[in-house]
Chains A and B, each alone.
Chain A
């Protein structure tokens, strides 16, 4: 049993980590909140810093770029989630089958997750989607078709493809882990009772996977809401690909309208917290501390 002595020792051991994380969370958060209620234009020193109440919050959501950014964000996050979850389940089921070289195939499938975001974005942008020298352009030309300007004509689809390629391995790996914990006897019993493959999938496999799918969905949502590098090195937010994250970044660092950008940042923090709340509930249930 823990003694009084070991308890205070434990508190001391946790102090550095708790203090650092508290500072890392609170200091910038308080500053962002502070800026969000003020006019703050560092590039125009002649404009005085003043309190403006909720003006920035209202201006952020009423600006003409707000709703397009919301739509772009929803399409990208939704599209990637849909693709990675569906293909992830299929791939996980496939990789769970008996085969030769299972380990090697898994290595191939998860590789994209370890490619740094700037490399994957540039690789797709130049080597595959470039309308002149890209792989797809060569194929289309060989078929006698006109090349497609992927990133300008189909910017959202192209970004969804790039980001899905990066995140499919993550979904697959987690769903595969979940499938491997499925009770095989249960499946065999169902098979012997004459359950067809579709009904075994719908009534046994899918319910078993539902929690892993929820976890993939929540974790990916948090990361996908924040994707930055993929847009930064491909479209720079043009052609309708400006997400909320990118819009806030432009307000804060490019046009240096810190008050307005900070209000956007507070919205982003609230949004992420809502998603995080659901995730933490699942994590909490599994934590036997």
Chain B
């Protein structure tokens, strides 16, 4: 697609697009800058804030004040744990649906996607009760299971679409050469499926990392990930701009970087293939 465009028009496009892009990104940039200021300077007027001296003190205080590292490791554990657990359950299911489809495959897949649309608040109390009676309220294990279940439909769906793209002829060729089902999965499918599986993991880690209903309602001090830790700053005694900025920057930076790599998968994973 080559459209002839004058340099002038391209320059205008560039200027407008960058202005809009920076405007949308501005709040993130702002807390990033604020996190390197002292608490007293952070609440000054914008220009005074910017010209104040830079410091790393907020980053140190966040850890001291509230054991940031524990919540960070909870986030890592919950997002990767739930994604990997989901992958173990989803790979066989997606494989079966992609390569041994039956008349009902489509209905099963649609039903799985529809469970994703169950409003959390509608089943809040039952889950809360079950968590209490099983003794897993505020435990990492309980949350890993819940996060796995809410993202399982997306994991299965994404893997299914990636598996479908693997040409069936390759499998037939392997079978003709005498490969068993096990060989087929291990030596033919797995290597071809790894890029798709990596994308699936990436998107689902992001979704689990940012999940902010169950992680807020089913955790207290022990299992709280960063979403719940940041929410604790909403009380008035926690109104420290520089520290809140530093904590926020550390909470979003890893996922922001992962997110930029996952733009394409985002469209595939969240629209269920309805937009290509």
- Residues of A participating in the B interface, judged by any CB pair closer than 8 Å: 2, 6-7, 9-11, 13-14, 16-18, 20-21, 24-25, 27-29, 31-32, 35, 91, 94-95, 97-102, 104-128, 133, 135, 138-139, 141-142, 165, 168-170, 173-174, 177-178, 181, 184, 211-212, 215, 219, 222, 225-226, 228-229, 232-234, 245, 248-249, 252-253, 258, 261-262, 265-266, 268-269, 271-273, 275-276, 279-280, 282-284, 286-287, 289
Which residues does chain A contribute within 8 Å of B230, judged by CB atoms? Answer: 116, 118-119, 122
Task: Determine if A114 and B252 form an interchain contact, defined as CB atoms under 8 angstroms apart.
Answer: yes
A228 and B125 in contact, given A126-B244, A280-B110 (Cβ under 8 angstroms): no
Residue pairs across A and B with Cβ atoms less than 8 A apart, 5 shown, are: A14-B92, A116-B212, A165-B24, A222-B117, A245-B119
Q: Are A2 and B13 in contact (CB under 8 A)?
A: no
- How far apart sit A113 and B267, CA to CA, in the bound complex (Å)? 12
- How far, in whole Å, are A117 and B5 apart by their CA atoms in the complex? 40
Note all chain B residues with C-beta closer than 8 A to A215. 271, 274-275
A108 to B106, CA, bound (A): 37
A248 touches B121 (CB 8 A): yes
Selected from B13, B18, B121, B206, the residue in CB contact (under 8 A) with A228 is: B121
- Does any Cβ of A come within 8 Å of B34's Cβ? yes
Structural contact, B241 and A109, CB atoms closer than 8 A: no
> Which residues in A have their C-beta under 8 angstroms from that of B59?
none
Contact A272 B14 (CB under 8 A): no
A127 vs B32: C-alpha distance when bound (angstroms): 12
- Is B93 interfacial (CB 8 A cutoff)? yes
B46: Cβ under 8 A from any A Cβ? yes
Q: Which listed residue, B45, B123, B129, touches A29 by the CB 8 Å rule?
A: B123
Q: Establish whether residues A280 and B114, one from each chain, have CB atoms under 8 Å apart when the complex forms.
A: yes
How many residues of chain B are within 8 Å of chain A by beta carbon? Answer: 97
- By a CB distance below 8 angstroms, the chain A residues around B81 are none
- Please measure, in the bound complex, the distance between the C-alpha atom of A289 and the C-alpha atom of B109, giving whole angstroms: 9
**B53 interfacial contact with A, CB 8 Å:** no
Given contacts A110-B259, A289-B97, A289-B101, contact A17 B89 (CB under 8 A): yes
Known A-B contacts A94-B13, A265-B121; the reply to A13 vs B92 at CB < 8 A is: yes
Q: Which of B25, B93, B126, B248 sits near A32, CB closer than 8 Å?
A: B126
When the two chains form their complex, are residues A7 and B233 in contact, meaning their CB atoms are under 8 A apart? no
Taking CB atoms, residues of chain B closer than 8 Å to A97 are 13, 17
A107, A118, A142, A258 interface centre (most CB from chain B within 10 Å): A118
Bound: A91/B19 CA distance, A: 12
**Which of A7, A169, A265 is most buried by chain B, counting CB atoms within 10 A of its CB?**
A265
- In the complex, B31 has a CB within 8 A of chain A: yes
Closest 5 CB pairs of A and B: A114-B259, A28-B123, A13-B92, A265-B122, A10-B96
Contact of B89 among A16, A141, A258, A272 (CB under 8 A): A16
User: Which chain B positions have C-beta within 8 A of A29?
Assistant: 118, 122-123
CB distance from B210 to the nearest CB of A (A): 4
Q: How far is the CA of A174 from the CA of B273 in the complex (A)?
A: 11
Contact of B46 among A99, A138, A170, A275 (CB under 8 A): A138
Decide if B55 is an interface residue (CB 8 Å cutoff). no
CA distance A99 to B272 in the complex (A): 30
Query: Digit string of B11-31 for contact with A (CB within 8 Å is 1, else 0)?
Result: 001101110111011011011
A135 to B45 alpha-carbon distance, docked (Å): 7
Which residues of B in the span 220-276 have a Cβ within 8 Å of any Cβ on A?
A: 226-228, 230-231, 233-234, 239, 241, 244-245, 248, 251-252, 255-256, 258-260, 263, 266-267, 270-276
> Are B117 and A9 touching (Cβ within 8 A)?
no
Known: A9-B96, A17-B93, A174-B267. A112 touches B3 (CB 8 A): no
List residues of chain B with CB within 8 A of the CB of A107.
260
At the interface, yes or no: B72 with Cβ under 8 Å from chain A? no
Q: Please report B residues at the A interface, Cβ cutoff 8 Å.
A: 1, 3, 5, 10, 13-14, 16-18, 20-22, 24-25, 27-28, 30-31, 34, 43, 45-46, 89-90, 92-93, 95-97, 99-102, 105-106, 108-110, 112-115, 117-130, 149, 152-153, 156, 181, 206, 209-210, 212-213, 216-217, 226-228, 230-231, 233-234, 239, 241, 244-245, 248, 251-252, 255-256, 258-260, 263, 266-267, 270-276
Contact in complex: B156, A283 (CB < 8 Å): no
| B267 lies within 8 A of A20 (CB) | no
Known: A233-B234, A289-B106. A118 touches B212 (CB 8 A): yes
B255 engages A225 (CB within 8 Å): no
On chain B, the residues within 8 Å of A114 by CB distance are: 206, 210, 252, 255-256, 258-260
Taking a contact as CB atoms closer than 8 A, the residue among B117, B212, B263, B266 that contacts A272 in the complex is: B117
Contact A17 B251 (CB under 8 A): no
Q: Which residues of B contact A141 (CB under 8 A)?
A: 45
Are the CB atoms of B25 and A108 closer together than 8 Å?
A: yes
In the complex, A276→B272 CA distance in Å? 12
Q: Which of B28, B101, B216 is A112 in contact with, Cβ under 8 Å?
A: B28
How distant is the Cα of A274 from the Cα of B210 in the complex, in angstroms? Answer: 26
- The distance from the CB of A73 to the nearest CB of chain B, in whole angstroms, is 12
Whole-angstrom distance from the CB of B112 to the nearest CB of chain A?
6
Q: If the complex has contacts A14-B92, A21-B149, A249-B124, are A99 and B17 also in contact, measured as CB distance less than 8 A? A: yes
